Amino acid sequence: MHAIHIAPHSITFTDYQAIHQLQQRQRYPGQAAPKPVTSDYWRKKGQLWIGSVASMGAAYWGLGPGKWLAAAIVVTMFTGLGLTHQWFEYRRAFRQHAQSQPATGFELTADTVIIRQGSHCRTVRWQDFYSIQHVSDWLLLYTSVEHCYYLNLQQVQPPNTAADVLGLLPKSIPAE
């Protein structure tokens, strides 16, 4: 069988975030996985407003007219800090991935994946990957727990298709 080529591509922050949110929902299917602050912004803002008003009302009734404002400010500050921290964690993880040398192309065969990075070439056998996951239009090839190559299945070069790539996966890897 001939090699399947995937054109060079890069992953955007939006794609990165969507992939990891989908993985989180797959990992915990029975639970409502928390969304980061950047998704569904207006709904989250409304929930924060309602929560803040309820907190201020409870603080007013419980603490009296003199101390409720200080309690409301502290609660609002910690809520804002928590949501900001969550957003920065996604950005930090995305920047760390972007700083690693991006692959400039992939060549897939029945036994191996050839990863081109600039003038270097790395050959990895399918069974040597730590994990392989098919998420939406992406194939995630984990070489370790901390490093992953993102293959955009929409970038498969003709005459091949994404189905041809998924057909190369080892049988132990579930394809969607």
Tens digits of per-residue pLDDT, 16-64?
Answer: 778 877 877 777 776 654 555 455 556 667 787 788 778 777 767 777 7
- Per-residue pLDDT, 37: 47
How close are the terminal C-alpha atoms of the chain, in Å?
Answer: 23
- Torsion angle of the four alpha carbons 53, 59, 65, 66, in this order, in degrees rounded to the nearest 10: -110
Gap between the Cα atoms of 33 and 25, Å rounded = 6
Per residue in 88-140, pLDDT (tens digit) is 887 787 777 665 666 778 888 888 988 888 778 889 998 888 888 888 888 88
> Whole-structure pTM over 0.75, yes or no?
no
CA distances (Å), 47 to each of 25, 34, 37, 61, in order? Answer: 21, 13, 12, 21
**All residues at 6 or more sequence positions from 90 whose CB lies less than 8 Å from its CB, including other chains:** 13, 16, 17, 20, 36, 38
